[in-house]
Structure 1
Amino acid sequence: MAGNRGVAYMGPGKVEVQETDYPKLELQDGPGVHPDNIGRKCNHGVILKVATTNICGSDQHMVRGRTTAPQHLVLGHEILGEVVEVGSDVEFIKVGDLCSVPFNIACGRCRNCKEGKTGICLTVNPARPGAAYGYVDMGGWVGGQAEYVMVPYADFNLLRFPDKDKALSKLTDLTMLSDIFPTGYHGAVSAGVKPGSTVYIAGAGPVGLAAAAGAQLLGAAVVIVADLVPERLAQARSFGCETVDVSKGDPKDQILQILGVPEVDCGVDAVGFEARGHGEGAAQEAPATVLNSLMEITAAGGALGIPGLYVTGDPGGIDEAAKVGSLSLSLGTGWAKSLSFVTGQCPVMKYNYGLMQAILNDKVQIAKAVNATVISLDEAPQGYADFDQGAAKKFVIDPHGMVAA
């Protein structure tokens, strides 16, 4: 039996690369596995040799101790891999196929899946709608920051690359299809970005930069990206974005200087529940700041796309309300301006085929936009530490040296 190694959460601020079980086509008991999922047969699944798997800001929330994630949970929901074993019920995916794995696990059979709402599949997580690999409260499916991983409902979930050799030459771009690129793009689509739009994106981390690249792909006239970290703002400017440094005060003043008016057509929250203040309060956590600011600066009748993560359990919340995901929102502002809000998991399969074609046909360079930086599996703990310090990079783990090859 082949071995396996994976990146495991060991407690606040700590991850380790550990020996872990080689995956089976059946859910085993383990950290975070819902009791009703133990022993669940997955003859509809495959085993992947992981080619690339990325560190995500959502992973970082867990590693900081800001969720109820259990120790020894193998992390990683951004996965691209080569099929090495197929279950007896798999019909169309074959051994040797190179595939992207949507981070949302979906059965393809329930009402929500049939309606394209794959982020809130009704069957894969007994606790609530929606599941993901290696993530807290998402059913206990083992994560992909490992050498091998099991993917259920493979015929439905996997996006097979039509030209394997061409795909291998673009791994650092195509690895973004599992989450970050569709999620950022979904934020832009949800905000109503169209040709000629002016767009404000809060957060210049990888999802914010992906949202900016997505907004450009949708034809936005001006894309403004806001952050506190100078290196991340410089990364946004590297592919044609305007920037706002929110440590210098109210974004409206800087938007006015850029556009001549203090508002935008479309707003995207790519920060989430660990948001910080603006101006002199920029160093302090203020979780409702981004959403309230977006309502202020988005034109009446506009929309907010909210791909940033919000949770219902945050042990590190600044007050009792924040610890249960309750924020002080100025909903009256949103109502008075007739703003629309779209939040929740991105339904990756709604977008990943088209974005794959954009990558393969050189219409977008998403790896360059997010500054994809390849590291080995053993370097993952340092990657987490660097990312936590605000590194303007998207860390791509290469467990088998396939990117280098």
Structure 2
Amino acid sequence: MAANRGVVYLEPGKVEVQNIDYPKMQSPNGKPIEHGVILKVVSTNICGSDQHMVRGRTTAPAGMVLGHEITGEVIEKGKDVEFLDIGDLVSVPFNVACGRCRTCKEGHTGVCLHVNDDRAGGAYGYVDMGGWVGGQAHYVMVPYADFNLLKFPDRDRAMSKIRDLTMLSDILPTGFHGALNAGVGVGSTTYVAGAGPVGLAAAASARLLGAAVVMIGDFNPQRLEHARKMGFVPIDLSQHDRLGEQIAEVVGQPQVDGAIDAVGFEAVGHGGKEQPAVVLNQMMDITREAGSIGIPGLYVTEDPGATEKAAQSGNLSLRFGLGWAKAHSFHTGQTPVVRYNRQLMQAILHDRLNIAEIVNAQVISLEDAAQGYQQFDSGVASKFVLDPHGMLGAA
């Protein structure tokens, strides 16, 4: 049995790469399973959602192995796995889903009813998501493998684009889900809040869907400059407190067809003060009547670090009456990755979507994960990809 190491959350602001148990074919409650596989992790990414936990903004327990963005090679499989073979290279949706319950059969794999004893929905290495061990490690176990895993059709071709394909586990489908839910189509005017990796993935998705103009708003000058280089229209939120006026300078009117919130509950307003509802309220202000708002940004039921008491239990000061009066559609929740990842894989393999360049993917070793977390938290315009076995460097 090979040794295993993984990124472990210790306390707010601190993670460490430690020796961890080699994965077993069993559920978090110890029940043996035969529908799973063990993967040798080829790549695994640091996500903004991980940062929420590491900052102490959730109830994540010390000792949790992090990581829900996983690409790997099948090295062991249970006897109930029929359609995957040893050596297959696969993308792992961050949703843990059974494929058998009512919501999974309806395509809502982000709220699977069977993989979490406490509530609907499961994920690897994430608080309140069922206790599934994370994949920022050398090896990880994936349940319900036939349903969950996306097999790459050609290993050599996949490895040649592995920096792009590693984004299929979360941020690319998440950005695409946000763009679709914002009603983006040919000729749309679109605004994306947040120029981090998910915001850039949403912007890239909007462009893929035919948007005429894609604006990205942020306070971070480095991220805005990178967005500009990638062909999006940067909106510097530090220069103005009236977003509609900034949008009017670009499209001639203070509204857009659809908006995407890629920021979530740690949003800040002018002056640097945290205002967890500020982005959602801005979305309602700038989105046209009968328009749609996609919300791939994370909102939580418990936020112990919130500055507003109500927000500590997930209650936000929304101007919901405005959204109601304008007949807006709101779309929230975990992205059902399996709904989109095959199509997006094809877009990558056929050179329609250079997502690694768009999110500025930076490959680092697993042992350097703590430094990657620190740099990402400082606001650098990069997406950090961990390379546990040196396979990306070789590719």
| TM-score interval, smaller chain | over 0.9
CA deviations 1:341-363 (Å, max 9, x no partner) are: 00000000110000000000000
**Matches of 2:203 and 2:114 in 1, distance apart?**
33
Deviation at 1:243, TM superposition (A): 1.0
Matched ranges for 1:155-304 at <5 A = 155-249=146-240, 250-278=242-270, 281=271, 283-304=272-293
**Moved beyond 3 Å, runs of 4+:** none
Amino acid of the residue matched to residue 12 of structure 2?
A: P
Matched ranges for 1:3-402 at <5 A = 3-27=3-27, 37-249=28-240, 250-278=242-270, 281=271, 283-402=272-391
Amino acid of the residue matched to residue 358 of structure 1?
A: A
Deviation at 1:319, TM superposition (A): 1.9
Helix, strand or coil for the counterpart of 1:49?
strand
In structure 2, list runs of 5 or more residues that go unmatched: none
Helix, strand or coil for the counterpart of 1:243?
strand
**Matches of 1:168 and 1:302 in 2, distance apart?**
40
CA deviations 1:137-193 (Å, max 9, x no partner) are: 000000000000000000000000001110011110000000000000100000000
Amino acid of the residue matched to residue 2 of structure 2?
A: A
**Matches of 1:56 and 1:42 in 2, distance apart?**
28
**Matches of 1:48 and 1:119 in 2, distance apart?**
22
Deviation at 1:40, TM superposition (A): 2.0
**Matches of 1:309 and 1:373 in 2, distance apart?**
23
Helix, strand or coil for the counterpart of 1:196?
coil
Deviation at 1:247, TM superposition (A): 1.4
Amino acid of the residue matched to residue 155 of structure 1?
A: D
**Matches of 1:42 and 1:276 in 2, distance apart?**
44
Deviation at 1:20, TM superposition (A): 0.1
Amino acid of the residue matched to residue 23 of structure 1?
A: P
Deviation at 1:260, TM superposition (A): 1.0
**Superposed CA RMSD:** 0.6
Deviation at 1:87, TM superposition (A): 0.6
Deviation at 1:239, TM superposition (A): 1.6
**Matches of 1:111 and 1:286 in 2, distance apart?**
36
CA deviations 1:53-101 (Å, max 9, x no partner) are: 0000000000000000000100000000000000111111110000000
In structure 1, list runs of 5 or more residues that go unmatched: 28-36
**Matches of 2:225 and 2:144 in 1, distance apart?**
41
Helix, strand or coil for the counterpart of 1:258?
helix
Helix, strand or coil for the counterpart of 1:295?
helix
**Matches of 1:322 and 1:143 in 2, distance apart?**
27
Number of residue equivalences: 393
The range that moved more, 365-374 or 237-246, is: 237-246
Aligned residues: percent identity? 66
**Matches of 1:238 and 1:305 in 2, distance apart?**
24
